[in-house]
Amino acid sequence: SWDLTAIEKSARIAAIEASAVGINWTFAPMIDISRDARWGRVMEGAGEDTYLGTKIGVARIKGFQGNDLSAPNTIAATAKHFAGYGFAEAGRDYNTVDISTTTLYNVILPPFKAAVDNDVKTVMNSFNVINGVPATGSSFLQRDILKSKWHFNGFVISDWGSVAEMIDHGFAKDLKQVAELAANAGSDMDMESYAYITHLKELVEAGKVSINVI
C-alpha cells in the first residue's frame, strides 16, 4: 500500500498500453475515501485514510499523465468522484450522503485538492446528494470550491447518467431542467444523459444558460 513508486509505475504501464491503441483519457484514479466495507466500490479506491489516499491518487495521476501530456504515451487522468460518493448511507451505491463540514473538508476533499495541485486534467462529479443537492447540480462543489477557490482550469464530466439522475433525486422535473441546472452549476460534460446535446442550444437561446458557460 505504501510503495508509491510501484503504484505510479502501474499507472505508467497502463498509460503506455492504452495510448498504444488510441485511448487518450482514463476515468481514474478514484480517490473517494470510504470507511464502510459494505460499499462495493471500496476495491477501486485507496482505502479509508485521507493521507494515504491522497498519496496514491497523486502517484497514479503522475503515472497516467507523465510530465508532458503531449507525449504520445500519456493519457489524461480523471479525479473522481467529486464529492462524498464513498460515504453513501449504509454502503448502498448511489444512496444519499449526509456528512459534516468537518468530514467534507478534512477527510473527503484533500485528495481532490492534491489532484488539482498536481495538474489533473479532468474531474468527475458524483451521483450522490450532499446537503440535499446532487453533486452534479452543486455550484458549491463545482464552481465555488473546485473552479474558484482551487482555480481548477480543466473540465468536469458528469458520472454516468448523473445529470438525468437529478430527476430521481427529486431535484428537477425533466431532462431540460437538469441540463440547465448542471451546466450552470459547473458540470461541463454530460456523460450518457443526453441532456446537453438535446437541450443546451435552446437553453442558451432562451437565456437560461449563458453562452460564456458553453
Chain length of the chain: 214
Is 159 noted as a catalytic residue in this protein?
yes
E strand or H helix that includes residue 203 = helix 195-205
How far is the C-alpha of 25 from the C-alpha of 159, rounded, in Å? 15
Longest CA–CA span in the chain (Å) reads 53
Residues near 81 by beta carbon (within 8 Å), at least 6 away in sequence? 30, 32, 124, 125, 126, 127, 128, 135, 159
The cell for 206 is: 432562451
How far is the C-alpha of 64 from the C-alpha of 72, rounded, in Å? 12
Residues near 185 by beta carbon (within 8 Å), at least 6 away in sequence? 136, 137, 138, 139, 142, 143
Choose, from 159, 168, 188, 190, the residue flagged as catalytic. 159
Catalytic residues: 159
